[in-house]
Amino acid sequence: MPLPFLRCALIQLVAATLTAADGSSASAISDGPGDICIFAAASTTESLGELAKTWESTHHQKVVCSFGASTTLAHQIQSGAPADLFLAADEASMDVLAASHDIQDSTRRDLLGNHLVLVAPSGSDLKVQFTRDFAFAAAFSGKIAIGDPAHVPAGAYAKEALTTLGWWDKVEDRTAPADNVRAALRLVETQVCALGVVYATDAAASAKVITIGAFPDDTHQPIRYPIAETAHARPAAAAFAAWLAGDEAAVVFTAHHFVHLTASASAAAGGH
């Protein structure tokens, strides 16, 4: 089968099967020779979408973003999905692609950091102490939304944090696992669930939830978002990835409550 035909077939498959974080189809995937296609964690929807528009207006080059759970996106890339860049919400999803040689290891870097928070529908007056002796399960009624720990990084972090605090065993049967972190957020926004564990960036993006508090960083592994060019990335991808690691993009990511690790590292180095 000719390679161009195969690539187009893969594009059609991904467009049909991937959904964006807002529930819409990721049907915008195209195969223009100058386009950049980035597969990115659902939690980057607003920030990366804003940055993509800025890049398009200043560089006259289309950026196609497909958002979803990092593990799902990694599997799509392994199956031949036409992504040029991968921005994951955890190291493990990127490690999977490194092991299968589906990314260029030399281009990999940790781009962003995040925090894990507990949210409730707006108007909630719940108070929580993030300590092992707090009776968390008794503090609320109903279910708690999390990303599915089996394949959603935010869910894996949530399970780890709840376990560290000694809360998991008492609420496991009350969890509502979601396909990605934004789906978990929507369960809280629509009051299907009384609580949810999401990233600080997700909580900040919604006017329908309030943040009860942040999980201590030592209750879970550090939340890191690595980015890398895929094995078959088109040349234009390198410039866009470098721009995302720079100061201009850092302003946008920071405004959306991410920690921009490359800008932070540069600032720290300049301060010594």
* 27-31, 242-246, 259-263, range with greatest mean pLDDT: 242-246
Q: For 256-270, how does the pLDDT look when each residue is reduced to its tens digit (9 = 90+)? A: 999 999 875 555 555
Residues near 125 by beta carbon (within 8 Å), at least 6 away in sequence: none
Q: Which candidate, 222, 179, 230, 201, places its Cα nearest to that of 47?
A: 201
pTM above 0.85, yes or no: no
Tokens of 256: 């959306």
**Phi, psi (5° rounding) for residue 198?**
-140, 180
Q: Tokens representing 229?
A: 């060019």
CATH class of 116-219: alpha beta
The tokens of 221 are what? 């592994």
The residue extents of the domains of the chain are: 3-113+223-270, 116-219
Q: Kindly report the CA angle at 233 between 229 and 238, in degrees rounded to 5?
A: 55
pLDDT tens string 38-81 = 999 999 999 999 999 999 999 999 999 999 999 999 999 999 99
Task: Enumerate the H helices of the chain as residue ranges.
Answer: 3-17, 45-59, 70-78, 91-99, 153-164, 168-171, 181-189, 200-204, 236-244, 247-255, 261-270
First to last CA, the chain: 57
CA gap 129, 136 in Å, rounded: 8
CATH architecture of 3-113+223-270: 3-Layer(aba) Sandwich (3.40)
Specify whether the CB–CB gap between 155 and 185 falls below 8 A.
no
Instruction: Give the C-alpha distances (Å, rounded to integers) separating 248 from 37, 43, 82, 243, 256.
Output: 20, 20, 27, 8, 14
Confidence of residue 11 (pLDDT cuts 50, 70, 90): very low
Neighbours of 243 (CB within 10 A): 16
* Each residue's pLDDT tens digit, 81-105: 999 999 999 999 999 999 999 999 9
Distance CA 64, CA 61 (A): 10
Question: CA-CA distance, 136 to 174, in Å (whole number)?
Answer: 12
Which residues 6+ apart lie within 8 Å of 20 measured at CB?
26, 45, 66, 67, 68
CA 73 to CA 23: how far, in whole Å? 15
Confidence of residue 13 (pLDDT cuts 50, 70, 90): very low
